[in-house]
Amino acid sequence: MKIYIDGKYYAREDAVISVFDHGLLYGDGVFEGIRIYNGKVFKLTEHIERLFQSAKAIHLDITMKKGEMEAAVLEAVKINRKDNGYIRLIVTRGVGPLGIEPTTCKKPTVIIIISDIQLYPQGYYKKGIEIVTASSKRMPSDCLDPRIKSLNYLNNIMAKIEAKNAGCLEAVMLNKEGFVAECTGDNIFIVKNRELFTPAPYHGALDGITMETVIDLGTSLGFKMHQAALTRYDLYNADECFMTGTGAEIIPVVRIDQRVIGNGKPGEITKKLIKKFKDLVM
């Protein structure tokens, strides 16, 4: 494994950053998770665009141009000879003295890691998973816009701990008004009367690239798609439910808070979308 840090490559054991990097000290930075399928980077342009938008939102000046960043990612994939895998692209505020003042960091740190990822055991894609509602609420949009993919994931981690304590792999998070936002690392969809619904970003959902891909796939299959306000009531009474994300892809949800969703098996529309997504990336 060769890890890119600020234009140079390092072996895994030698890939280090300063303890004074504000990404480490304060979670001050942004990132993207990107998949590689059959040697091709999936939706790279869209991921780079979102990275730069996140950086702009937190007033972080990425010193590279978008084209240069894309080229760096593609070079890292080539050097690591990875045909199928996962890319973690990170930009931190950079090295600076103690204290949260961002202008003391003179240059951002850019890191590209090429590795493998498997969030869920393969069997769960066929039989579905069970999730619970976390008591940890999603960070309010008026505090931090959910479209910013920042390095500070503690809010999601606390909800993930609740899921693990409940014997589940995932948890769904609500916003402070009680509407469904997202899961700890994935977007969530439901199917009701052969129409698909997912929370809108202003309810606390990340504007996911896999989510947008699934919306496009659903539309191409003739299903009506809605970004809507959802509550737990809507989840419990859904005909089908599934999660989407770069790492998870599309994974069925068959139980929520011990309520069986639909017939307790991955639904027909969910399976169609999984097949359509596999056809797209393979």
Write down the pLDDT at residue 201: 87
Q: Mean pLDDT throughout 77-98?
A: 97
Please give the average per-residue pLDDT across 83-90, as a whole number. Answer: 96
Residue 38 in this model has a pLDDT that exceeds 90: yes
In whole angstroms, give the CA distance from residue 31 to residue 224.
31
DSSP category for residue 217: H
Residue 120: pLDDT over 90: no
Q: Is the pTM of this model over 0.85?
A: yes
Give me the half-sphere count of Cα atoms (radius 13 Å) on the Cβ side of residue 1: 14
Domain spans in the chain, listed from the N-terminal domain onward: 2-115, 124-281
CATH class of 2-115: alpha beta
Of 170, 73, 164, give the one whose Cα is nearest residue 119.
Answer: 170
| pLDDT at residue 193, as a whole number | 97
Using one digit for the tens of pLDDT, what is the confidence trace for 13-33? Answer: 999 999 999 999 999 999 999
Low-confidence winner among 116-125, 239-248, 259-268 (lowest mean pLDDT) = 116-125
The pLDDT value recorded for residue 142 is 86
Q: Is residue 117 very low, low, confident or very high in pLDDT (cuts 50, 70, 90)?
A: confident
Domain 124-281: what homologous superfamily?
D-amino Acid Aminotransferase, subunit A, domain 2 (3.20.10.10)
Residue-wise pLDDT tens digits, 154-176: 999 999 999 999 999 999 999 99
Give per-residue pLDDT as tens, 174-206.
999 999 999 999 999 999 999 999 999 889 999
The reported pLDDT for the residue numbered 35 is: 97
Average pLDDT, the chain: 96
Among residues of the chain, what percentage have pLDDT more than 90?
A: 93
> Quick check: 118 pLDDT over 90?
no
pLDDT at 141: 86
**Pairing between β-strand 249-256 and β-strand 240-245 as defined by DSSP bridges:** antiparallel
Indicate the length of the chain as a whole number: 282
**pLDDT tens sequence across 208-225:** 999 999 999 999 999 999
pLDDT at residue 67 greater than cutoff 90: yes
List residues with catalytic annotation: 149
**What is the pLDDT averaged over residues 97-101?**
97
What is the rounded distance in angstroms from the CA atom of residue 147 to the CA atom of residue 89? 16
Stretch (H or E) spanning 73: helix 66-80
- Residue 137 is predicted with a pLDDT of 94
CA distances from 213 to 135, 162, 175, 208 (A): 29, 29, 24, 9
Average of per-residue pLDDT across 242-260: 97
Burial class (CB in 10 A: 0-12, 13-18, 19+), 164: exposed
Q: What is the DSSP letter of 147?
A: T
CB-based contacts of 18, cutoff 8 Å, min separation 6? 24, 95
